[in-house]
């Protein structure tokens, strides 16, 4: 995570350049976390807006030892969970303890093909990746996103998602195995 002290000072002077930096650093990252949980782009954008506005209201009270990214991510995670809890169907998957999900055992052992680099296949690939993420239990997709896509450490991910480092490791392992299995058929098909 970047050093926030200078950015925070500049934000407190309401510098437009500091706002630009904040937005560029975190808007898409918050969006990705939110959309991985709520699986709806418009709702994820509303979460980005809500989280930034709440942060603006707290800038002057924000303590130096707090990390801006951690605060924003945690707020986005909590806002996303709130939305999921209002959806009756999703409520079950939110509340499943990931450690109770049976370890997914691999069943497809075909080697994966290389990804073609033309635009059509790139779009198809992104669709496949997004669909696989959306199929996963939310407790797993959020950990996979933070660890393997955003490349945060186990400890940072644990702080953001308010779970133990051990739970991060367990969920990451299950997420990887599940995603590999979801995508195996697509990638093992011959071109």
* CB closer to another protein, 67 vs 169: 169
Q: Which residues contact 50 (CB under 8 A, 6 or more apart)?
A: 79
Q: Is 10 in the site for another protein (CB under 8 A)?
A: no
What are the percentages of helix, strand and coil residues in the chain, rounded to 5? 75, 0, 25
Q: Is 7 in the site for another protein (CB under 8 A)?
A: no
Residues in the chain: 191
Q: Which one of residues 1, 2, 28, 135 is an interface residue with another protein (CB under 8 A)?
A: 28
CA distances from 7 to 90, 152, 155 (A): 37, 20, 23
* CB closer to another protein, 95 vs 121: 121
Q: Which one of residues 66, 78, 91, 130 is an interface residue with another protein (CB under 8 A)?
A: 130
Residue ranges in 46-65 that form contacts with another protein under rule CB under 8 A:
48-49, 52-53, 56-57
Q: Which one of residues 27, 67, 70, 93 is an interface residue with another protein (CB under 8 A)?
A: 27
For the CA atoms of 135, 141, 144, 149, the dihedral, rounded to the nearest 10 degrees, stands at 80
Are residues 38 and 84 in contact, defined by beta-carbon separation less than 8 angstroms?
Answer: yes
Residue ranges in 158-177 that form contacts with another protein under rule CB under 8 A:
169, 172-173, 176-177
* CB closer to another protein, 45 vs 65: 45
The H or E element containing residue 23 is: helix 16-38
Q: Count the alpha carbons within 13 Å of 92 in the hemisphere toward its beta carbon.
A: 4
Range in contact with another protein (rule: CB under 8 A) among 77-85, 91-99, 155-163, 179-187: 179-187
Q: Which one of residues 10, 125, 159, 165 is an interface residue with another protein (CB under 8 A)?
A: 125
Q: Is 106 in the site for another protein (CB under 8 A)?
A: yes
Q: Count the alpha carbons within 13 Å of 169 in the hemisphere toward its beta carbon.
A: 4
Instruction: Output the DSSP codes for 140-181.
Output: HHHHHIIIIIS---HHHHHHHHTS-HHHHHHHHHHHHHHHHH
* Positions in the binding site for another protein (CB under 8 A): 14, 16, 19, 23, 27-28, 31-32, 35, 41, 45, 48-49, 52-53, 56-57, 103, 105-106, 109-112, 115, 122, 125-126, 129-130, 133, 144, 148-149, 151, 169, 172-173, 176-177, 179-180, 183-184, 187
């Amino acid at each position: 995570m970047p050093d926030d002290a200078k950015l925070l000072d500049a934000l407190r002077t309401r510098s437009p350049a500091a706002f630009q930096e904040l937005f560029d650093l975190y808007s898409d990252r918050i969006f990705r976390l939110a959309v991985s949980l709520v699986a709806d782009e418009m709702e994820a954008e509303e979460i980005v807006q809500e989280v930034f506005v709440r942060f603006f209201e707290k800038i002057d009270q924000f303590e130096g030892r707090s990390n801006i990214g951690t605060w924003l991510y945690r707020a986005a995670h909590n806002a996303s969970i709130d939305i999921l809890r209002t959806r009756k169907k999703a409520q079950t998957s939110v509340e499943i303890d990931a450690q109770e999900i049976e370890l997914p055992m691999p069943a497809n052992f075909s080697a994966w093909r290389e990804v073609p680099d033309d635009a059509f296949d790139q779009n198809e690939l992104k669709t496949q990746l997004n669909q696989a993420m959306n199929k996963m239990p939310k407790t797993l997709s959020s950990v996979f996103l933070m660890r393997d896509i955003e490349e945060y450490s186990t400890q940072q991910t644990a702080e953001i998602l308010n779970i133990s480092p051990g739970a991060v490791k367990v969920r990451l392992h299950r997420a990887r195995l599940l995603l590999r299995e979801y995508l195996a058929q697509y990638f093992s098909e011959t071109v």
